[in-house]
Amino acid sequence: MKLFLGIDLGTSYFKVGLFDEVGLLHGLGRVAVPKTTPFPGACEVPIEQVWALLRQGLTEALVQAGARSTDIAGLSYSSQANSFVLLDASDRPLTPLIVWKDLRARVAPAELADFGQTDDFARVVGFRGMIPELAVVKWTWFRAQRPELWGRARRIMTLSDYLTFELIGERVGDSSTASLLGLLDLRAKGWWDEALQIAGVSKETLSVPLAPGTFAGRTTRRASELLGIPAGIPYAVGGLDHHVAALGGGLGPLADVSISTGTVLAAISLIEDPVAESGCYHGPHVAPTRYYRLAFDSGGTEQIEELRRGLAPDLSISKLVEAAAAVGVGRDEEGSAAVAARRFLERIAACQRSLIGRVLGAREPRAVVANGGLTRSTAWLQLDADLLGVPVIEPTCTESACLGAALIGGVAAGVFTSFDEAARKMVHVRKYYFPCRPGRSISMSSGPGGASV
C-alpha cells in the first residue's frame, strides 16, 4: 500500500494523516499539545514532548490504517507560524518550543515597532505592524533578558524549520510560514537585508526559505530515531496551516476563497501581486506566480461551547447548531439557547463576510470552500450559505490541512507531476450548499470582527 503522510503542526493539536493516491484518509492520529507557563506570559512546549506527541500521532494513524511505516511514499506538513526554538553551535536546542501565543515580550522595542509601521515594510513583507506574537519581537526579549543564552544561540528555527532539519538534515524552511515573520521579501522570496539588520539577526542564523511544495530531500536515519519512519522517504517543505488547508480543500480549482471556522476565523484567497491590504497577510503559493492573501479574526467558535454549557448542557454542539439553524423570526422564545446560538452564528457569518471582503476586495466569490470544526455540521453549512449568499463547498475530507500536506508529499514522491494533478486526484467535494434564503438573519448583529449582517 502506497500512502502519503501529512503532518499538521497545529497550535492546539498535532494531527498526522495517512492518505492514498485518491485522497482517501486511511488513518488519523490526533494528539492535544499541552503548554507550560513557567512565568506570566510564557507559552512553551518541551522539545522532547514535540517528538513524543508526533510519534504518538503517527503510531495511531498507522494502527488505524493497518499500515507500516514502510508504506509511506512521501511526506510534508502544514504548520503554525512564529513558533521557534533557539539552537547552539552543535544544533542542540537551547530552549523549549516558544509558541507564537507567548507574550513574554509585551511590546516591540521602539525601533522595531516604528519600522513595522513604515510603507516600505508593508510593501516588502506584505503586512503592517510588529505585534507581540511575532517571533522577532520575542527574539529582542531574549537578547535583553537572557543575554547569556542568546549569546550561545547560533541558529533560530521555526517549528516547521526544525521538523525539516531533524527529518532530512537540511537547514531549509518554507516561504509560506516564513512570510509571517516580517523578515521575508515577498517578491524576491528571500530574506530582506534591511529587516534582518533591524531585527539583529543574520541570514546564516535562519533556515533558507524555499517555495512551498519544493522537494527538499529524503528522510535520514534521524527520522527513524525520532518518529520511527525509514530513511529515504521523499520530503517536501509545506506551508502555513491555513494556506495548506486551503490547498487541501480545493482553493483555486473549486473556489475563490477558503474560510476556516475554528479557534480563529480566517479567509484566504489566491492573487497575482501581493500588494499590501489593510488587515491582510501574504505569502508565496505553490504556483510560482501566485501568492496567498490571508485575513483572520481571533473571535472564533469557542464561545458556542460556552453557550452550550451554560444554556443547553444536555445538547451536543451539532444539535445546538441544528436548533439554531431552525430558528425563525417571531417563533422562538427570546433568551432560549437556540436563539442565543443563532445570534452567535450570525455574528460568525458576518465576520466571515468581512474577512472575505478583505481578501477578495470588490470581487464576489463564485463559491467558498469551508474548513474548520463547524464544517462537521451540515446545518451550519446550509445556514452559512444562506447568510453569505454564495455557495458553500463541503470537502469530502474534513482534515484538509493533513490532506494538503499529503498532497504535497505525493508530488515530492513523483506520483503526481504537478500540484494541479494532485488536487484533481485527491481533493473531492462531498456536497455543495446553495443559498436557499439568502441573508435570512434574525438580527442585525455586530460580528466578532466588527462587521454586521
- pLDDT tens digits along 345-374: 898 999 999 999 999 988 899 999 998 878
At which residue does the C-alpha cell 505569502 appear?
A: 283
Mean pLDDT of 32-50: 97
Q: Percent of the chain beyond pLDDT 90?
A: 79
Instruction: Locate 117 and state its grid cell.
Output: 509601521
**What values do phi and psi take at 50, rounded to 5?**
-55, -50
Same domain? 256 vs 194: no
51 exposure class (CB count in 10 Å sphere: 0-12, 13-18, 19+):
middle
In angstroms, the Cα distances linking 186 to 121, 161, 271, 283, 302 are: 11, 18, 13, 7, 33
pLDDT of residue 92 exceeding 50, the answer is yes
Which residues, 6+ apart, have CB-to-CB distance to 391 below 8 Å?
366, 367, 368, 385, 432, 433, 434, 435
The SS3 call for residue 8 is strand
| pLDDT on residue 298 | 79
Is 451 contained in some domain?
no
Strand segments, DSSP code E, in 80-214 are 84-87, 97-98, 155-158, 172-174, 184-185, 190-191, 208-210
Final residue of a structural domain among 189, 212, 237: 237
pLDDT tens, 15-28? 999 999 999 999 99
pLDDT value at residue 251: 95
Question: Residue 335 has what pLDDT?
Answer: 65
Q: Are residues 225 and 290 in the same domain?
A: no
CATH number at residue 163: 3.30.420.40
Residue 293: domain span: 252-433
**What's the CA gap between 212 and 240, in Å, rounded?**
9
Q: How many structural domains compose the chain?
A: 2
Domain boundary among 211, 237, 263: 237
Q: 185 with 274, same domain?
A: no
pLDDT for res 236: 98
Q: Are residues 197 and 264 in the same domain?
A: no
Q: Cβ contacts of residue 148 below 8 Å, gap of 6+?
A: none
Tens digits of residue pLDDT in 372-427: 878 888 999 999 999 999 999 999 999 999 999 999 999 999 999 999 999 999 99
Q: If you search the block for the grid coordinates 487541501, which residue do you land on?
A: 248
Average pLDDT value for residue range 272-292: 95
**Mean pLDDT of the region 118-135:** 96
Joined grid coordinates for residue 213: 511544495
Claim: this prediction has a pTM higher than 0.85? yes
* Listed range (134-148, 215-229, 289-303) with the worst mean pLDDT: 289-303
Residues 125 and 201 in one domain: yes
Predicted local confidence at residue 448, as pLDDT: 35
211 & 326 share domain: no
- Say yes or no to pLDDT of 66 above 70: yes
How high is the pLDDT of residue 98? 98
CA-closest candidate to residue 343, choices 435, 261, 453: 453
pLDDT for 453 beyond 50: no
The mean pLDDT of the chain is 92
Name the DSSP letter for residue 212: T
218 shares a domain with 295 = no
Whether residue 256 sits in one domain with residue 217: no
What the block records as the C-alpha cell of 202 is 543574520
Are residues 75 and 184 located together in one domain of the fold? yes
Residues 258 and 221 in one domain: no
What is residue 338's predicted lDDT score, i.e. its pLDDT?
86
Which pLDDT score, from 0 to 100, does residue 440 have? 58
**Domain assignment present for 245:** no
Alpha helices in 364-414 (DSSP H): 378-388, 400-412
Q: Is the pLDDT of residue 445 over 70?
A: no
Residues in the chain: 453
The answer, yes or no, to whether residue 446 has pLDDT greater than 50, is no
Domain boundary among the residues 171, 202, 237 is at 237
Handedness of CA 429, 361, 245, 307 (dihedral sign): negative
